[in-house]
Amino acid sequence: MQRNKVVKLLTILLSTSTVGIINYSDVKAEEIKVVASNTNVEAVINNLKNIGDSVTTETSSTMEDVNNSVVAEVSAQKKLTIDEYKLKSATELAEMVRTKQITSEELVNIAYEIIESENPNYNAVITTRKELALEEAKNIQDVGQPFIGVPFLVKGIGHTVSGGENTNGLMVNAGKPLSKTDGSYTKKYKELGFIVLGQTNYPELALRNITTSELYGMTTNGWDINYHSGGSSGGSATAISSGMVPVSSGSDAGGSIRIPASWNGLIGLKTSRGMTDNAKKETQTPAVHFPITKSVQDTITLFDYLKKAEYDSPEIKDLKSLKIGYTTKSPMGTEVSEDAINAVMESVQFLREQGFVVEEVENPIDGREVMKDYTILSIGNGGLVGTRFENNLIEKNLTKENVDPLVWALYVTNKEYDKKKLKEDVTKSWANIEKYKNIMEMFHKEYPILLTPTTATTAPLKTETLIDNKDKED
């Protein structure tokens, strides 16, 4: 019997009254010969068949201690260990499914095994749908999906999945009925072949650059649980960096893909507005939806399949013809850590060694002006919690102390803002954003690529409050 890996032979002697139990938990590929007396053969073979092994029998007369014995030869292959799974990209796992090296059900079971054992350390996953996922994995058919049968998690806000929660991370929404259908983004990911295992953690209304809430708790970093994961797609990032899944969905308005990707050593692409979303390019929403990955190839494939047909990517024949600009300064004028500066300069040195033209530039846009407009837009969305928000809190015996200070501040500001004035200010902010876009388009004609720190610092310790007592009081 041929094997791609080293084959070991084990001989298990079974008495007439005992059926052996075989544990394959640490076996990659084995050929096991089970020697049993005639009275035990049928029980042994059935037991092995029940655990899914290929069983053949042959008569053996060479064993001195067992007369008239039967050798049950078992081909027991554990096709992928947990450690091997954690290292695979989504592209590699899909190829294994497509070539029948492993089934989607087996991959899903491995992923759930990791989630069940490791998620208590990270709190990256807030809901699971194991029965539904296994059923979908069992029934999936290969029709050319790029990620057929690959385990996948969706961000718990904005990417609705059947059987999942839809609370926006707010305590006041705890206990709402589970979603009965998939949202448009989740449907698209399933069309690509992904098997959705559940939902990942996020902060209230996805507004913070860390992932924590009273309802779901804090998500820690996939590399070190003593640090923050980032936000608002922090649950997705940690799920990938800890090895639960190779890809997970994210969304980004002000850094919600890029920040957790940076702090978890992943690839976080915020595509240009409207290029890959359901929204049109000119739609007034700053948010973009795109998965976080750990593989450049996965990101390329996702972009190719998710980008809209009307937005063709320009063909670049010579990458080195693209001039690269870089800066280590914050567009806000705030301090940038040595770690962040060194990361940029190491990249600059590497690119220059490869033959690229890399030049230091000034930030084309005043970051503080951008933040003023971003804040106005956020205030405009402050009413998303609903006009009865305070009444709903009272009805559930909750107070503003049960609400993230940022969410509460935006709600109160929105409530007190003159609505006519707010509408005018939001309109002005979108006009300003159009100006910023035009400035950047002009800049990118000379420097198609701008290299900057993703964040000013590395991930903060989870013990850092990041909000002082005065902020809470206000």
Collapsed DSSP state (helix, strand, coil) of residue 73: strand
Specify the pLDDT at position 200. 98
8-77 and 82-313 agree in CATH topology: no
Confidence of residue 473 (pLDDT cuts 50, 70, 90): low
In the predicted model, what is the mean pLDDT of residues 278-294? 86
pTM passes above 0.85: no
**Burial of residue 474 (number of CB atoms within 10 Å: 0-12, 13-18, 19+):** exposed
In the predicted model, what is the mean pLDDT of residues 283-312? 93
In the predicted model, what is the mean pLDDT of residues 164-187? 96
The Cα 70–Cα 57 span in angstroms is 7
The answer to whether residues 366 and 432 touch, using CB atoms and an 8 Å cutoff, is no
In the predicted model, what is the mean pLDDT of residues 456-467? 90
Specify the pLDDT at position 348. 98
In the predicted model, what is the mean pLDDT of residues 426-446? 97
The answer to whether residues 328 and 344 touch, using CB atoms and an 8 Å cutoff, is yes
Supply the DSSP symbol for 173: G
List pLDDT tens digits, range 233-268.
Answer: 999 999 999 999 999 999 999 999 999 999 999 999
The answer to whether residues 35 and 74 touch, using CB atoms and an 8 Å cutoff, is no
In the predicted model, what is the mean pLDDT of residues 287-306? 97
Classify each residue of 266-279 as buried b or exposed e, where b means 16 or more C-beta atoms within 10 Å of its C-beta: bbbbbbebbbbbee
* CATH number of this structure's domain 82-313, picked from the four choices 3.30.2010.10, 3.90.1300.10, 3.20.20.140, 1.10.260.40: 3.90.1300.10
> Where is mean pLDDT largest: 73-82, 304-313, 396-405?
396-405
The answer to whether residues 210 and 404 touch, using CB atoms and an 8 Å cutoff, is no
* Least trusted range by pLDDT, from 177-191, 277-291, 337-351: 277-291
Specify the pLDDT at position 52. 44
Specify the pLDDT at position 409. 96
Residue type, 196: V
Nearest to 76 by CA among 134, 38, 34, 135: 34
The answer to whether residues 359 and 326 touch, using CB atoms and an 8 Å cutoff, is yes
Other C-beta atoms within 10 Å of 199: how many?
Answer: 30
Mean pLDDT score of the chain: 86
The Cα 133–Cα 108 span in angstroms is 8
Q: Quick one: tokens of 226?
A: 């003593």
List pLDDT tens digits, range 97-121.
Answer: 999 999 999 999 999 999 999 999 9
What DSSP element (H or E) covers 59? Answer: strand 54-60
Specify the pLDDT at position 470. 58
Q: Which residue has the higher pLDDT, 29 or 461?
A: 461
* Residues 121/147/76/31 CA torsion (nearest 10 deg): -120
The answer to whether residues 250 and 285 touch, using CB atoms and an 8 Å cutoff, is no
* CATH number of this structure's domain 8-77, picked from the four choices 3.30.160, 1.25.40, 3.30.110, 1.10.3470: 3.30.110
List pLDDT tens digits, range 342-374.
Answer: 999 999 999 999 999 999 999 999 999 999 999
Confidence of residue 65 (pLDDT cuts 50, 70, 90): very low
In the predicted model, what is the mean pLDDT of residues 116-129? 98
- Residues that are catalytic: 155, 232, 256
Q: Where are the domains of the chain?
A: 8-77, 82-313, 362-446
List pLDDT tens digits, range 14-58.
Answer: 322 333 333 333 333 333 333 333 334 444 444 444 444 444 444
The answer to whether residues 74 and 31 touch, using CB atoms and an 8 Å cutoff, is yes
